[in-house]
Amino acid sequence: MEKPSFFKKFTSVGERNILSKFTVFPDLGTEVADFLVKMMQSDIKEMDVLNEKVKMKEREGDDLSENFSVLITRGAINPSLIDNLLFLVNRLDDIIDRSYYLSREMKRMNIGYLQSNGNLGKVLESPYKMFVHMLTSGKDAFAALKGMLTESDMGKINEYKKKIEIIEEAVDDMKDSVLDDTYKNADKMNYIVFNHVTSMVHKIDDMVDDCEDAADLILSIYKSLTG
């Protein structure tokens, strides 16, 4: 027997409206991922502009998170769903918050540090290329997450979740590859560059981990509604 619609099983219009609007977060995630990739591939003169764009999206995400949290706690929401909905909003917002950390870190390194230590710039070429691949995979995870928020068929929802799990595993492998190469080439870096690479790779991996956590919460919410 076909499972009921993801949204039709919600007990109030408020719940349907709130969850359907959460798709704005994966859309923001895709936008900021594009900005981060451009920062890694662009001329240094564009760094400030791109960093400001990420900053604006991060603030937008914070405002959305605050507004959604108010709607969830003060609206006509099934009490059994409130905690998971709040956790979901926090995880979705974390993705955008991490992107702003990444943009600021790149700005500090490329404008603040490498301006007077340009000879170390070559060391960053290889990890940055891998970061681009990781962020591109992250965009695929965001698209699958959006699919989970808009799909009504349980089978397809599970397919999207499985896709996110596969992407997370692939990104985790990329993270390990970057870390392995970084330690092998540590003698070519100073502490500042080493810390830059390792903090960046962990933060990008965290973005995809947040996406997987959000997928788990969406599935949990769905299951609580369909019995």
Q: Which residue has the tokens 């070429």?
A: 125
Q: Tell me how far apart the alpha carbons of residues 102 and 96 are, in angstroms, rounded to a whole number.
A: 10
Per the structure block, which two tokens stand in for 17? 């409206």
Write the DSSP string, 60-113: HHHHHHHHHHHHHHHSS--HHHHHHHHHHHHHHHHHHHHHHHHHHHHHIIIIII
| 78: confidence class by pLDDT, cuts 50, 70, 90 | confident
Residue 19 pLDDT exceeds 80: no
Percent of the chain with pLDDT over 70: 88
Residue 73 pLDDT exceeds 70: yes
pLDDT top residue among 42 and 205: 205
* pLDDT value at residue 7: 37
Residue 14 pLDDT exceeds 90: no
* pLDDT value at residue 214: 97
Residue 56 pLDDT exceeds 90: yes
Residue 4 pLDDT exceeds 50: no
Residue 74 pLDDT exceeds 90: no
State in Å, rounded, how far the first CA of the chain is from the last one.
14
Lowest mean pLDDT among 45-49, 160-164, 198-202: 45-49
* pLDDT value at residue 10: 37
Opening angle at CA 67, ends 205 and 53, nearest 5:
50
Q: What is 13-226's CATH number?
A: 1.20.58.220
* pLDDT value at residue 223: 82
Q: What is the mean pLDDT of residues 97-126?
A: 86
Residue-wise pLDDT for 150-179, tens only, equals 887 889 999 999 999 999 999 999 999 999
Percent of the chain with pLDDT over 90: 69
* pLDDT value at residue 15: 56
Q: How does 116-148 read in b/e, with b if 16+ C-beta sit within 10 Å?
A: eeeebbebbeebbebbbbbbebbbbbbbbbbbb
Opening angle at CA 102, ends 169 and 183, nearest 5:
60
Q: What is the mean pLDDT of residues 10-33?
A: 77
pTM, rounded to two decimals: 0.89
Number of helical H runs and strand E runs in the chain? 7, 0
197 and 178 in contact (C-beta within 8 Å)? Answer: yes
Exposed, middle or buried by CB within 10 Å (0-12, 13-18, 19+), for 26?
buried
* pLDDT value at residue 39: 94
